[in-house]
Amino acid sequence: EAGVTQFPSHSVIEKGQTVTLRCDPISGHDNLYWYRRVMGKEIKFLLHFVKESKQDESGMPNNRFLAERTGGTYSTLKVQPAELEDSGVYFCASSRDGGDEQFFGPGTRLTVL
């Protein structure tokens, strides 16, 4: 089966600009997660979708971040306006309903200058 895919792989933007990251989960996976790793630190949870609904968004840092999963398939994460501290690698992961293993995408490396 095809794995989790993310686009773009890299993004370099200036402070104040907008960036939209996309994640395509494994087909049939109801659960979709966004995580972020900043400056070599731990991978931190951002939010969790079950199908198109936000199950848990407790990790979203502030209202500059907006995640959507219309139709319950792919998801987007928009950062608007981007700040320097938003730089990092954004990972998406998906899992089956009732499944434990979360399958990770390759990540999007975001650099805010």
Nearer to other proteins, 58 or 70 (CB): 58
Site residue total, other proteins (CB under 8 A): 26
Write out the chain in H/E/C secondary structure. Answer: CCCCEEECCEEEECCCCCEEEEEECCCCCCEEEEEEECCCCCEEEEEEEECCEEEECCCCCCCCEEEECHHHCCEEEEECCCCHHHCEEEEEEEECCCCCCCEECCCEEEEEC
Query: Of these, 44, 51, 64, 78, which contacts other proteins (CB under 8 A)?
Result: 44
Q: How far is the CB of 60 from other proteins (least distance, A)?
A: 12
Query: Of these, 17, 20, 43, 87, which contacts other proteins (CB under 8 A)?
Result: 43
Q: Which residues pair with 52 in a beta bridge?
A: none
61 touches other proteins by CB under 8 A: no
Residues that bind other proteins in the complex, under the rule CB under 8 A: 3-4, 31, 33, 35, 40-45, 48, 55-56, 58-59, 91, 95, 100-107
